[in-house]
Amino acid sequence: MPQGGGPSAPSFQGIDTVSGYEGTGLGDGEGKYFPPPDDMVAKSGGRPHPSLPQWAIPAISEDVAREAFVKYASRKCCYSTAPAKELVFQDLQPFNTYRYRLETFTESRSSVWKTTPFKGGVVDSYLQGPAPSPWSMQVDIPEMFKDHNTCVPVPHTSSVKGCSDCVRLGKIACRQCHGSGRRCCSLCQGSGRRFVDDQCTHCHGSGNTHCTHCFGRGTQDCQTCKGAGDLLYYIELQVTWKNNIFEHVVDQRSGFPSDLFKAVSGEKMFVDEQSLVYPVVNFPEPSINHASQNAIVQHQASFTSASRIRRQRQTIELIFLTKVEYAWKGKQYSYFVYGNENKVYAEEYPKKCCCAVM
């Protein structure tokens, strides 16, 4: 009887070689990746874009700036709303900026050998025909620009092999009793007695009891084949769709932490979506043109060799940013209002109460 132990991966020996899938490994890790054929590589169909206007958006109004600041203070448990309500505006300075984003939606395909217990039935083997190549298999494309994974069995790659863990018996020796069906009595620790003259009532003086793990049989179902004795081997095609994003925000040297822009939206000025986009070349802000050219070159170099670019989308947003300078009780302070959501960033707030946690 094969010895017990933790479930292990089935042996890879004796697996059939399938044309087009040479080098495919066995297991649950990453499979062997296949680059797309040349005729599936996307071609650029874009053209240079017309000039886009420079948006000159003034600073927000004082009413909007005050309302945003009051809301900001009211959400802080230790902040008094008095400064936000009583402040005296000194200056509202616009630092409106631009955000460029390139999204490249890619599809990659890999393969891995999989196994499942086989208890009879039809086997879709090579006798049914040659296996389709990785990129010839039809797989439904999910929603664009959303990460997604799907796995499908490759037709005509199945075969049945005996389980090597149990040598096709479907049973292995019980891990708890090592195949004996008996275990040391837990009450008398194998002595057969509870006290000097008292026989142990649990084991009736024998010093051992039936193994509860295998019910005294000494064997248990093989965890690899689930007691079937045979395994069905087949190649699984793993398809991964990923939305790869490049972002660039123009630095207006306002002193505002640019990382905070990730949490807000802006006003879309430009949207371009096609198989492969063409770099933006004539936007009024030169750093946007430079970022677009670099991003497109970078994405094509990174993704075309191992995956298929399904779609690209580039956008330019105007992100609102206003620096508010104000006075409260004779002292000068400032804060920022940013994004369509009118969020507030304040490095310093005039009045905070002390909160004690008991």
Q: pLDDT 10s per residue in the chain (358 long)?
A: 666 554 444 545 556 788 889 888 887 666 788 888 887 776 665 555 655 666 667 789 999 999 999 999 998 888 889 999 999 999 999 998 999 999 999 999 999 999 999 999 999 999 999 999 999 999 999 999 999 999 999 999 999 999 988 999 999 898 888 888 888 887 788 788 877 678 888 788 888 888 888 888 888 899 999 999 999 999 999 999 999 999 999 988 888 999 999 999 999 989 999 999 999 988 888 999 999 999 999 999 999 888 999 999 999 999 999 999 999 999 999 999 999 999 999 999 998 765 533 3
Residue 326 near residue 276 (C-beta atoms within 8 A): no
Instruction: Count the alpha carbons within 13 Å of 111 in the hemisphere toward its beta carbon.
Output: 25
- Give the three-class secondary structure for 299: helix
Locate the domains of the chain by residue range: 62-103+241-345
Q: d(Cα 127, Cα 158) in Å, to the nearest integer?
A: 10
For the record, the structure tokens of 29 come out as 């890790």
Q: How many CB atoms lie under 10 A from the CB of residue 224? A: 21
Give the amino acid at 206.
S
Q: If we measure between CA atoms, which residue out of 242, 249, 241, 243 comes closest to residue 101?
A: 249
Distances in Å between the Cα of 321 and the Cα atoms of 65, 316, 343, 345 are 11, 16, 10, 10
The model's pTM is 0.78
Displacement of CA 192 from its chain's centroid (Å) = 57
